[in-house]
Amino acid sequence: MSAHKNQPTLQDIYAARRRLQPYLRETPLLHSPWLSSVADAMVELKVESLQLTSSFKIRGALNATLRLVAATASPPTIVTASAGNHGRAIALAAERLGVRAIVFTPATAPDTKKAAIRRHGAELRDDSPNYDAAELAAREYAQLEGAVYISPYNHPDVIAGAGTIGLEILEAAPTLDVVIVPVGGGGLISGLALAIKTAAPGVRVVGVEVDASRPFAIGIERGAITEIDVGASLADGLTGNLEPAAMTFELVRRHVDDLVSVSEDDLERAIRGLVSEDHLVAEGAGAAAAAAVIAHKAVRRGQRAVVMLTGANIDLAKLAAIVA
């Protein structure tokens, strides 16, 4: 079974912030002289890679798990699908709250992410050929076994948890012009855009897909969720098709001002630059927003921009090969 599919509200985001406050830190907003010079603008990084689990995903996963535990006397098993970071976040939330969790990932998920899932005590099933297959297997398992499936993006509590980042950004940078956000299944940008556009409608929200996987850009162009051919990408966390009737599709269409995409070369240059210039580690998906800045697709001259750095869970060998 799965949780209700009502779209979250700004009130849900504020409730999530109160719920998460005892567990999570507020991540810093750091000026990037490098990206500022590239864009001829004032560019700051929202460094979610410094969050618990080295990714923003813990916000949504923990919010959803806390709500589930509070609502049931005997919480059922949680099942999820993940390219890695959401699975690790669910595993940690389940460990902290005493809930059983099963995580389905592609066989190709980074070893650092799979090792962390196991370390937190979750059962890992990593034999799917790609993310779409892992998601299908997870949803089918939950339905057959009476477990609760918590989507990494198509879940109101996951979206509301991610939306707490938007509140932090507005408080730290009330005069900003644009926020640039990586887009995979759309959970992060849905929550963040909902928070920002409700409170500060003049701020532009720009989503960044990868050339290898553009379900939102293609779907919005065609007027409905559309199955696409997904290619391989360094940003493994941003690839895959959307669930049928994913609530994030309408939230993105309503609240996001623009969608752009970046190449694999853009991603590598962003990862390399973040390490060499800002001394920050980013995985492929985590560097996508920075990649859009260096590709001159997201920030106009003179703007104040916030760039989401969403995760740092990259295998060491892959990082070494990129920065060499």
Residue 313 is part of a domain; what is its CATH number?
3.40.50.1100
Instruction: Specify the number of domains making up the chain.
Output: 2
Q: Classify residue 2: in a domain, yes or no.
A: no
Same domain assignment for residues 200 and 259: yes
**In whole angstroms, what is the distance from residue 312 CA to residue 324 CA?**
18
Are residues 97 and 129 located together in one domain of the fold?
A: yes
Inside any domain, residue 104? yes
209 domain residue, yes or no: yes
pLDDT, residue 1, reads 42
My answer on whether 26 and 69 are in the same domain is no
Q: In the chain, helix, strand, coil percent, each to 5?
A: 50, 15, 35
Instruction: Name residues of the chain where pLDDT drops below 50.
Output: 1-4
pLDDT in the model for residue 75: 85
Domain boundary residue among 149, 180, 199? 149
Which residues, 6+ apart, have CB-to-CB distance to 246 below 8 Å? 153, 154, 185, 186, 225
C-alpha 44/C-alpha 278 separation (Å) is 11
Q: What is residue 314's predicted lDDT score, i.e. its pLDDT?
A: 95
pLDDT of 5 reads 57
Q: What is the pTM of this model?
A: 0.95
The pLDDT of residue 4 is: 40
208 in any annotated domain? yes
Task: State residue 72's pLDDT score.
Answer: 85
137 and 200 assigned to the same domain: no
Quick one: 76 and 188 in the same domain? no
Domain that holds residue 244: 10-56+156-323
Q: 83 in a domain, yes or no?
A: yes
Which pLDDT value is given to residue 224? 97
User: Are 206 and 303 within one domain?
Assistant: yes
Assigned domain for 5 exists: no
d(CA 53, CA 165): 16
For residue 184, count CB atoms less than 10 angstroms from its CB and return exposed for 0-12, middle for 13-18, buried for 19 or more.
Answer: buried
Q: Do 125 and 260 lie in a common domain?
A: no
